[in-house]
Amino acid sequence: DGGITQSPKYLFRKEGQNVTLSCEQNLNHDAMYWYRQDPGQGLRLIYYSQIVNDFQKGDIAEGYSVSREKKESFPLTVTSAQKNPTAFYLCASSWAGVPTDTQYFGPGTRLTVL
Amino acid sequence: QQPVQSPQAVILREGEDAVINCSSSKALYSVHWYRQKHGEAPVFLMILLKGGEQKGHDKISASFNEKKQQSSLYLTASQLSYSGTYFCGTEWDAGNMLTFGGGTRLMVKP
């Protein structure tokens, strides 16, 4: 079955540690995205990538880093520079192009900083 | 800027109707609607492109008023399964990234 997988589902981290969230898709989509969701709020774009080896900052990129070495993978690293990292992180993918195509979301990773 | 959704929350009885609005301060190219169950991924409902079109999806439909820079989602004869948070994502120009509203929490009770 085609889809997007994110791992782990729950992640606990101590303050000052970097942590990497995994996102893999087998939909052959060109574009991939990372969003952050805080309780009771909407989705905010962290980073996006429309092609391998290229990515762009979203609205809240500070304290995060990404890589796009393979079309199907787009890992997100939450660094110690992110002051308030506890949140629900969602990865999405879509066909690139105009108009913006439907974004399909993974199940999410809930990150808690202890 | 983030689109504004209204109402922020609504409680319905099964079979009742609801309207959720999504308003933008900028001209819109497209509006995307998603529904999210608690702790789960958002699920795509529909896309509307500028031109004032209306789309339907079973008993859930939506309209897009380009002049008013607004989209509305209509839920007819609501079912328990409609409960969740509804988000609109707006695109201001072709190829721009989506900007999501703060969501509308919908609860359908028996």
Q: What is the pLDDT of residues A47-87, one digit of tens each?
A: 999 999 999 999 999 999 999 999 999 999 999 888 899 99
Chain-chain contact of B42 with A99 (C-beta, under 8 angstroms): no
**Structure tokens that stand for B12 in this block:** 């319905």
DSSP state of B82: G
H helix or E strand, kind and range, residue B73: strand B70-75
Segment among A11-25, A38-52, B39-53 with least mean pLDDT: B39-53
Chain-chain contact of B94 with A100 (C-beta, under 8 angstroms): yes
Residue B81 three-state SS = helix
In the predicted structure, residue A12 carries a pLDDT above the cut 90: yes
**Structure tokens that stand for A112 in this block:** 């808690």
Residue B68 three-state SS = coil
Spatial contact of A68 and A18, defined as CB atoms under 8 Å apart: no
In the predicted structure, residue A99 carries a pLDDT above the cut 60: no
Average pLDDT, chain A: 91
Contacts of A88 in chain B (CB under 8 A): 39
Q: What is the mean pLDDT of residues B87-97?
A: 84
Contacts of B6 in chain A (CB under 8 A): none
Q: What is the mean pLDDT of residues B7-22?
A: 97
Chain-chain contact of A107 with B41 (C-beta, under 8 angstroms): yes
- Scan residues 71-110 of A and list those with Cβ closer than 8 Å to B: 88, 90, 97-100, 102-108, 110
CA–chain centroid gap for B12, Å, is 16
Chain-chain contact of B98 with A90 (C-beta, under 8 angstroms): no
Each residue's pLDDT tens digit, B29-76: 889 999 999 888 899 998 888 776 666 667 899 999 888 899 999 999
Query: What is the percent of chain B where pLDDT is above 90?
Result: 64
pLDDT of residue A92: 94
Q: Which residue of A has its CA nearest to B91?
A: A100
CA–chain centroid gap for B75, Å, is 10
Query: Of A105 and A41, which is predicted with more confidence?
Result: A105
Chain-chain contact of B41 with A105 (C-beta, under 8 angstroms): yes
- Scan residues 40-59 of A and list those with Cβ closer than 8 Å to B: 40-45, 48, 58-59
Mutation for testing the B interface, residue in A41, A47, A100, A101 having most B CBs under 10 Å: A100
